[in-house]
Structure 1
Amino acid sequence: MESKSCRNSLAVKTSHVLPPDTNNHGTLFGGKLMAHIDDVSAIAAVRHARKLVVTASTDSVDFLEPVREGDSVCVEAFVTWTHTTSMEVFAKVVTENLLTGERKVCTTAFSTFVAIDEDGKPTAVPEVYPETDQEKELHRSAPERAEQRKQRRKNSKEMAATFGTVYPWNE
């Protein structure tokens, strides 16, 4: 399988923030922005793997600036690192006041996707290689994030086993 550049997977989507997308503060619902991020990140993962993918985890979604009604949001995502069947995707969201032209990075996020075959089983993905300084830094630091994900997943499984599916007062 031939390796591919980070740039090869780049996916971009710009959306207008309309009243139904906002909360009582006049800012974009966080969940709505997370849906945009997951959508664009999944496209980047499919572009890299050229296979179906599923979201395995979202490491972080850091909301840095508010996104106001009437603004636009531009989500850019690309594959930064790969393992055997998984891909780490970095997403950056830029909000723009369409009347003034002021632009700010409002959100960053890391997600992991797993490529699957037609039977829904994990399948191999090509390696990715960085070209720019920013891509190289994300690629260099990816194994540490992968280890953190692994530990967090272990902790989540332990938490799920502890709490189970029934609340104690419902037994």
Structure 2
Amino acid sequence: MTMSRRLAMELEEVRRWGGVRDLHLVDRDVLRWRGLLLPNNPPYNAGAFRFELAFSPHYPLVPPRVTLLTSIHHPGVGPDGTVCQPLTSPESWEPVTCATHVLQDLLLLLDNPGTERVLRPELARELSERPEAFLHQAEEHTRRYAEPRPDTPGP
């Protein structure tokens, strides 16, 4: 199976999955996808978070890169939108892993902020030492920066 055929099939699979909305190609490029991720749990479930999934021309041998384009107060997401996602690290990547798994893992990270997958140690420390303050800050940040959640279910 060619890479572009596999990506086309994976794009349709992700569209059927309920965790994202508004999934589309960037500039008609099958190697760049954007969409809205819909967290299930507080403090992030009050909004939707735009992401980009960028695939290498060597996919599936090389993992895709996930970037969160919407600002989020989360220990596992860097200020620049990089995501602490061991699943897509070159050392852990398996070519059988598909885009849906990558996005499900991202959703799991957002739904369960913790101190294991950390890019912002100061937020992990705040979550650990002052969880109520962390949740309040994350809630306020979500209200301020996240996009509105779409009301209609996905296709």
TM-score, scaled relative to structure 1 = 0.28
Identify the structure with the greater strand proportion: 1
For the pair shown, the structure with the greater C-alpha radius of gyration is 1
